[in-house]
Structure 1
Amino acid sequence: MKITFIVSLFLSSVTISCQDYGKLKLNDILPKELNEISGIIMAQDQESVWAIADSKNEGVLYLIDIKNGHIKHKTWLKDAINVDWEDIASDGKETIFIADTGNNDNDRKDLTIYHVSENIALAEKEVTPKKTRFRYEDQEEYPPKKKKRHFDAEALIYKDQYFYLFTKDRSSDFEGLTRVYQVPAKPGNFEAKFITEYNLCDDEDDCFVTAADINQKTGEIVLLGYNKVWKLNEYTGNDFFSGTVTKVKLKYSSQKEGIAFKHADTLLITEEGKKMDGAKLFEYHLDK
């Protein structure tokens, strides 16, 4: 039994070391409880990331050491069910935001963004978050007809006192669209205002936006897909696709679910785990 386990572990390590990750550099294999990791954001210490897992997991914030992938701290959110937590964002200061906005079937009426103080989360094992609840201003049916299913969002950023959500194209007439919606970044109940939409690509297996982040200093936005990153620059106001949109092929396709700026020229990207292969944390250096 023991010999079999050691051989299995060795073969697994060899497989990982031989894997071609394209343009990505493997940082860490993450703990098993983060196999369904769905979002990350840099912590204030710049040595860790805050992470969340998606539906069927606990309502927990994980602090991960990016040097070794170990969990340094866990904080439970009180009165905050993890229906489908899909992304995490920051105001660049002291508040982090958790998007319970996964909506595969476009039928949810309980979409919520949770607000948590990072300092309190570090000091406590339980926190009571503030809540922003919202509905999409142009959604009239739950669910809409299959041709009009554009209300599943897995990507969130914070900018200038507002949240911005980037949706997935779940429609039967797939066009690779992502829609941008704006929600006030304060507690309460709101309508998400439609801002714009953009055709990312036409490959149904590879045009879903699964995460987003913004560099609060430069304004650069990055969107994540299964094998690419889109960089948004030189845009006007909140019309994020009005400027330069650069598509970067990562040359490695997998279920990537989290993205965060480590530095202005470096991204951290996560991949969900599989049965025999744990979730992973990668680095990617942006071309300038």
Structure 2
Amino acid sequence: MLKAKFIALYYAFKIMTCSCNSEVSMGFVNLRSESKIEKLGKLPEIIDESSGLALLHNGNILTHNDDGEPALFEIETSGKLISKKIINGTQNTDWEDLTTDTEKSIYIGDFGNNFQNRKNLRIFKHNSYNSTESITFRYADQSQFPAPIKNFDCEAFFWHNGELHLFTKSWEKKNPISKHYSLPDKAGDYTLRVQEVLSIQQPVTAADISPNGKFYALLTYGKILFFEVKNDEINFKHPLGCIKTRRKQTEALTFISDREILFSNEQGDLYKVTFDLP
């Protein structure tokens, strides 16, 4: 309990004191004057820890809790609850993010790995015909369970052109990083190899790609980082912009247009950020 409180205080301090200065030195543009953040509402009590957000084709938002029953909740952008749906044939070991594809399939990332010891990492693919299949995977660079270097947690992914792109959350206080992996969006068992590594001071807690596919965003405790997608390739090579959020422990994010993002925090607040990229 004391350790959990210490960690919470540590990240609260990091959030309150964060800025985009270090990102500017990495090639990002500080979007302070080109962005606006407004609170839209409060999530219902049944959603006590929103860990993922995804835009549905009807304009509403899908979210979930990070443990408990395997349920998805449809909400309005105000936070008002519309419906709850149990995803049969699944378990919520540690659901951490959501994404969708152009065929209206929903992908649920059951890959939270706080203690670096899980051997049952998986993504549930729930299609429009109400059936669910499992995509299981392991990290090629993890050989110890638990791993002594805590870089094998994951809370962020998105779908793009038949692939799922994962971004890890580091628990290391010295030299924290985020690793990028990818795998096919089809049922199977995969071994993932690191594609690239990003040095980043805050833990990555969510990700999404813009509707036009030209850039993607990573959410951290205190910031949103944007990267350009060139030649249809997802990588860290083209940093675009940084927005300082400072809205407590932010855990989930989704684009609702090419210039608007919704994000939520563990305290149940729902926000919209409007921005303009260079």
Q: Do they fold alike, i.e. is TM over 0.5?
A: yes
1:26 aligns with one of 39, 49, 71: 39
In 2: Cα distance, 1:218 partner to 1:115 partner: 21
Unaligned runs of 5+ in 2: 1-34
Aligned equivalent of 1:37: 50
How far the C-alpha of 1:152 sits from its partner, in A, is: 0.3
**Mapped contact 1:163–1:184 kept (Cα < 8 A):** yes
Aligned pairs (5 A) from 1:1-288: 23-46=36-59, 48-55=60-67, 57-66=68-77, 68-117=78-127, 119-120=128-129, 127-145=130-148, 148-171=149-172, 174-201=174-201, 207-235=202-230, 238-250=233-245, 252-273=246-267, 279-288=268-277
Aligned with 1:33: secondary structure? coil
In 2: Cα distance, 1:216 partner to 1:161 partner: 15
Q: Percent same amino acid among aligned pairs?
A: 27
**Given the superposition, is the C-alpha separation of residues 198 and 236 from structure 1 closer, same or farther in structure 2, using an over 3 Å criterion?**
farther
In 2: Cα distance, 1:217 partner to 1:195 partner: 23
Aligned with 1:210: secondary structure? strand
Equivalent position amino acid for 1:283 in 2: K
In 2: Cα distance, 1:27 partner to 1:188 partner: 39
**Mapped contact 1:227–1:249 kept (Cα < 8 A):** yes
In 2: Cα distance, 1:248 partner to 1:139 partner: 32
Q: Deviations over 1:89-129 (max 9, x none)?
A: 11134111000010011100011101112x44xxxxxx541
How far the C-alpha of 1:215 sits from its partner, in A, is: 1.6
How far the C-alpha of 1:136 sits from its partner, in A, is: 0.5
Q: Deviations over 1:47-87 (max 9, x none)?
A: x10111102x2100111011x32221211111211010000
Q: Deviations over 1:147-187 (max 9, x none)?
A: x2211000011112111110011236x22310001111110
How far the C-alpha of 1:141 sits from its partner, in A, is: 0.9
TM-score normalized by the length of structure 2: 0.83
Unaligned runs of 5+ in 1: 1-21, 121-126, 202-206, 274-278
How far the C-alpha of 1:257 sits from its partner, in A, is: 0.9
In 2: Cα distance, 1:233 partner to 1:260 partner: 16
What is the aligned residue count? Answer: 243
Equivalent position amino acid for 2:187 in 1: P
In 2: Cα distance, 1:149 partner to 1:248 partner: 26
